Amino acid sequence: MLLVEKVANRVIKQDPGEIQTFFSLPTSVLHHTSPSLQIRTLTTLLHESKRLASCILHPDIVGPTFLEVSSEDASNTPLSTLLRRRSQALIIFVGSALKSPASGSKATKEELSNFVAALISLAALQVGTNPDRSIDE
């Protein structure tokens, strides 16, 4: 998660073809684990993405972030924008990681069910009508 969040600001601004370059290290680390652990890790990333998106929609419940906001980012960009970028970067990484096939044993039905449930939960997140708290950009 740290490796993905670190490049979040740059990933969001890149063309889809260039994104793989930014995710080469985290993808390599992920693919050196079992498919079961990969699915559990990707599920955790989706939960974190949802948590960050919820913090945008409900700023009164903002908790600590996995990667602290740098002083450079904090002075130039609103917190909601940083959280949105991180949330989007995590989702983009999950999609990118799923495009590369895993070898070895398969994940269990329960792990796959949890992954699909996390995807549905994230997709069903209520966006709201306040443009300052928009997550759908």
CA distance 115 to 74: 32
Arithmetic mean of pLDDT, 19-38: 86
CB atoms within 10 A of CB 63: 8
* Amino acid 24: pLDDT: 83
Stronger pLDDT, 83 or 132, i.e. the higher one: 83
Q: In this structure, which amino acid lies at residue 80?
A: S
The amino acid present at 127, given as its one-letter code, is V
**Confidence at residue 73, expressed as pLDDT on a 0 to 100 scale:** 54
Place of tokens 């693919």: 31
The answer to whether 22 touches 7, Cβ cutoff 8 Å, is: yes
Over residues 32-88, the pLDDT tens digits come to 888 889 999 999 999 999 988 888 888 777 666 655 665 555 567 788 888 888 888
What tokens appear for 103 in the block?
A: 């070898």
pLDDT at 117: 93
Residue 15 above 90 pLDDT? no
Q: What pLDDT, on a 0 to 100 scale, did the predictor assign at position 62? A: 63
Residue range 86-111: mean pLDDT, rounded? 82
Q: What b/e readout covers 95-121, taking b as 16+ CB neighbours within 10 angstroms?
A: ebbeeeebeeeebeeebeebbeebbee
Mean pLDDT of all residues belonging to the chain: 78
pLDDT at residue 136 greater than cutoff 60 = no
Spatial CB neighbours of 88, under 8 Å, sequence gap ≥ 6? 8, 11, 12, 49
pTM, two decimal places = 0.77
Cα angle at 44 between 50 and 113, to 5 degrees?
95
Q: What is the pLDDT of residue 133?
A: 47
